[in-house]
Amino acid sequence: MPGAAELLSSVFGFSEFRPGQAEIVDAVMAGQHTLAIMPTGGGKSLCFQLPALCRDGVTVVISPLIALMRDQVRGLREAGVAAGALTSGNTEEETEEVFRALDEGVLKLLYMAPERLSAGGTLNLLRRIGVSLIAVDEAHCVSQWGHDFRPDYLRIGELRRSLNVPLAAFTATADAETRAEIVTRLFDGVQPETFLRGFDRPNIHLAFEVKDSPRRQILDFADARKGQSGIVYCGTRAKTESLAAALREAGHSACHYHGGMEAEPRREVEARFQREDGLIVVATVAFGMGVDKPDIRWVAHADLPKSIEGYYQEIGRAGRDGAPAETLTLYGPEDIRLRRSQIDESPAPAERRAADHARLNALLGLAEALTCRRQTLLGYFGEEAQPCGTCDLCDRPAEAFDGTEAVRKALSAILRTGEYFGAGHLIDILTGNGTDKVKARSHDALPTFGVGREFDRRQWQAIFRQMMGHDLVRPDPERHGALRMTEAARPILRGEAGIELRRDTIRKASSARPAVKTLVAEEDAPLLSALKAKRRAFAEAAKAPAYVIFNDRTLIEMAEKRPQTLDEMARISGVGAKKLERYGAAFLEVITGEGTAALHPTRRKLAGREAASLYDRLLEVQAELSRGDGGIDKPLSCSTSLLAKVAETRPGDLRALERLLGDRRAERFGAAFLQVLHEA
């Protein structure tokens, strides 16, 4: 069998390996379990395709996208390699051809989607054809909390154990936490031979801008690169369609792509993008993973991505041929609120939501960086770098100022309010805005009230955004987005350290357009998200629309009024007796963070009414007199329904009370019950 170097030249047409490829190829060929993290465009595919030709048996490649598999199979066949794919996109003839090649023992690489692992007969097929290696592309999809999670990737570890063959996993983006998850789920926690071949893509120019007429910013960016292939990522499906139309009106060849489209139109867009020069695809993140187009010259984000990992994965689709490529990412306060609410409304446990908030903070740190963006980006992935000279901050350094005093004021406001409030309420305190909420909590009497009037509200929002980017404060999911101080902030608060902030983004915040109207005040938005998450859980369990549980208006009122008891919950519009019984305690627990003591059904029916407090007081008095004034009489009590009737009818004298209670109970409780009723 020819050696690796000979096949590299004769089959793939390369005279030498790219940096880092040779060591990975050697490890895979030797049958070692392998994990390789390589930058997009760094030649990951060759690192399992070449060993597959050098090893006996069939190499199974698990890949997440049909389009990517078909492209790779087509390329391998063009190079004379016997490769095939079993996908839902196959014609009957294509599938028959793959099985024939397997039966004849000529196929070297078999591609399949992870979903096929759950199909009956797949394991028997793989045993029968003599699989000798499993290669996993886009291995970060195994991370349950990652940006591209695919549930069927969790079956790969079981497949490896069943076949007892080496496994090689590849990805272009994985922080330390995701790498650990890959090792746990694919390799049963046994450390594979690991190659971390750098995340740097020096040919890609990095740039961020604060949103200011964002549609015009995207159109200007595209106009300056007319005729070049590009991708614009948007946060919503509707936006992809409207922005693609705007680009077409401006004279560009553009189309949209999102997960809500039918399969055939999506395939048409994918085919056009591969075939046409200069086409712009405006898409959600549903488009891109596995895009094998080498000459994408630019990637723009019309909205802030979810995390640095997502950002890096998406910009990595540009410039895979190694030629210069450009990126632009727009961001603003509405983006951050959206991303925060998506995290808060997720069903993930609190510690995972906290980690996701920290990941978003890291992305804000990149957006608000003071120095070279590439240093910040690579630093997140654990790499050190020199200033790159190919990012917007190297082109034009940020305008910075000593923000120590402003940050100390903000941190003081956080601590003096018990780390129990979000940025909106804290900004009201700092700017001396005496809202009802500020006055109700006596926060207008704090030493920090009004000490930050040198900045307006939007400027303070930019300062808090930068504080999150520096990881000085983090939203606490358990407290519905309340900001908590990190250890990194303490030296600044104590006067032992200073900090620089960007003046340019704060100035732009002051001159930006009015904020988009939101359902609730910024302060209440995280709680509203948590209430929506609870509503969704009930709706899914009941297989019913969410509004059947509670409509938005009811949840908004809960978020704003924050009831602390079931009585207060019963006064919320839309919370009737039945819904209070079914859902009241669960939603109250979301608001208070504590379990709610169970109420007797009779008492629960009175919740929210004046009779409820009367019932509670009558119950207390009855307990005191249950054995008489001296505590030595035979026990006596009224039924809960009888107490409820007294509370509701409020008899005015002893005779009326006797008619309700009877002589014996009226004799023991009558005078005390009448006193309670008269006091009320």
CATH number of 584's domain: 1.10.150.80
Q: Is residue 353 predicted with pLDDT exceeding 90?
A: no
Q: What's the CA gap between 556 and 146, in Å, rounded?
A: 30
**The domain boundary residue, chosen from 465, 494, 514:** 514
Query: Mean pLDDT over residues 403-424, rounded?
Result: 94
- Write the pLDDT tens digit of every residue in 209-241: 988 889 999 999 999 998 889 999 998 899 999
Between these two residues, 324 and 147, which has the higher pLDDT value?
Answer: 324
- What is the per-residue pLDDT for 377? 92
Do 73 and 144 belong together in one domain? yes
- What is the per-residue pLDDT for 463? 93
Do 215 and 318 belong together in one domain? yes
- What is the per-residue pLDDT for 325? 92
Query: Mean pLDDT over residues 412-440, rounded?
Result: 92
Out of 5-9, 150-154, 590-594, which region has the weakest mean confidence (pLDDT)?
A: 590-594
Could you give the angle at the alpha carbon of 517 between the alpha carbons of 539 and 311, nearest 5°? 75
The residue type of 154 is L
276 within domain boundaries: yes
Per-residue pLDDT band at 145 (split at 50, 70, 90): low
What proportion of the chain, given as a percentage, has pLDDT over 70? 94
Per-residue pLDDT band at 417 (split at 50, 70, 90): very high
Q: What's the CA gap between 137 and 143, in Å, rounded?
A: 13
Q: Which residues make Cβ contacts (< 8 Å) with residue 456, sequence separation at least 6? A: 431, 510
- What is the per-residue pLDDT for 352? 81
Query: Structure pTM?
Result: 0.66
Q: What's the CA gap between 289 and 256, in Å, rounded?
A: 16
Between these two residues, 617 and 487, which has the higher pLDDT value?
Answer: 487
Q: Which residues make Cβ contacts (< 8 Å) with residue 483, sequence separation at least 6? A: 414, 419, 421, 422, 423, 426, 464, 473, 474, 475, 476
Do 586 and 675 belong together in one domain? no
Q: Which residues make Cβ contacts (< 8 Å) with residue 586, sequence separation at least 6? A: 534, 538
CATH code for the domain of 29 = 3.40.50.300
What is the overall mean pLDDT for the chain?
86
Which two structure tokens, joined as six digits, stand for 188? 């049963």
Do 14 and 161 belong together in one domain? yes
Do 146 and 13 belong together in one domain? yes
Do 186 and 212 belong together in one domain? no
Range of the domain at 49: 4-196
Between these two residues, 75 and 484, which has the higher pLDDT value?
Answer: 484
Do 67 and 164 belong together in one domain? yes
Query: Mean pLDDT over residues 31-57, rounded?
Result: 88
Do 662 and 636 belong together in one domain? yes
Which two structure tokens, joined as six digits, stand for 601? 């059904």
- What is the per-residue pLDDT for 94? 87
Which two structure tokens, joined as six digits, stand for 533? 């998450």
- 215 SS3 class: helix
Do 445 and 321 belong together in one domain? no
Is 183:191 a contact under the CB 8 Å cutoff? yes
Is 157:25 a contact under the CB 8 Å cutoff? no
555 within domain boundaries: yes
Give which of 253, 320, 257 is closest to 280, Cα–Cα.
253
Q: What's the CA gap between 547 and 528, in Å, rounded?
A: 14
Q: Is residue 266 predicted with pLDDT exceeding 70?
A: yes
Q: What's the CA gap between 84 and 74, in Å, rounded?
A: 9
Per-residue pLDDT band at 401 (split at 50, 70, 90): very high
Q: Is residue 537 predicted with pLDDT exceeding 80?
A: yes
**The domain boundary residue, chosen from 196, 226, 245:** 196
- What is the per-residue pLDDT for 412? 96
Which two structure tokens, joined as six digits, stand for 253? 């060849």
346 within domain boundaries: no
Do 494 and 532 belong together in one domain? no
Q: Is residue 309 predicted with pLDDT exceeding 60?
A: yes
344 within domain boundaries: no
Give which of 152, 143, 71 is closest to 115, Cα–Cα.
152
585 within domain boundaries: yes
Q: Is residue 178 predicted with pLDDT exceeding 70?
A: yes
- Write the pLDDT tens digit of every residue in 578-608: 888 889 888 988 888 766 666 677 777 777 6
Q: Is residue 337 predicted with pLDDT exceeding 50?
A: yes
Is 533:349 a contact under the CB 8 Å cutoff? no
Which two structure tokens, joined as six digits, stand for 515? 């904020």
Per-residue pLDDT band at 277 (split at 50, 70, 90): confident
Q: Is residue 150 predicted with pLDDT exceeding 90?
A: no
Q: What's the CA gap between 589 and 570, in Å, rounded?
A: 14
- What is the per-residue pLDDT for 512? 47
- What is the per-residue pLDDT for 29? 93
Is 608:568 a contact under the CB 8 Å cutoff? yes
- What is the per-residue pLDDT for 2? 62
Question: Any idea what DSSP says for residue 582?
Answer: I
- What is the per-residue pLDDT for 289? 55
Q: What's the CA gap between 485 and 208, in Å, rounded?
A: 27
Which two structure tokens, joined as six digits, stand for 45? 């595919």
- What is the per-residue pLDDT for 381? 82
CATH code for the domain of 427 = 1.10.10.10
Do 40 and 188 belong together in one domain? yes
136 within domain boundaries: yes
478 within domain boundaries: yes
- Write the pLDDT tens digit of every residue in 509-520: 655 444 444 566
Q: Is residue 475 predicted with pLDDT exceeding 60?
A: yes
**The domain boundary residue, chosen from 470, 493, 514:** 514
Out of 124-133, 223-232, 609-618, which region has the weakest mean confidence (pLDDT)?
A: 609-618
Out of 80-89, 170-179, 321-330, 359-368, which region has the weakest mean confidence (pLDDT)?
A: 170-179
375 within domain boundaries: no
- What is the per-residue pLDDT for 375? 93
- Write the pLDDT tens digit of every residue in 97-106: 999 999 889 9
Query: Mean pLDDT over residues 237-266, rounded?
Result: 92
Do 495 and 404 belong together in one domain? yes
Number of folded domains that form the chain: 5
For tokens 């080498």, what's the residue? 294
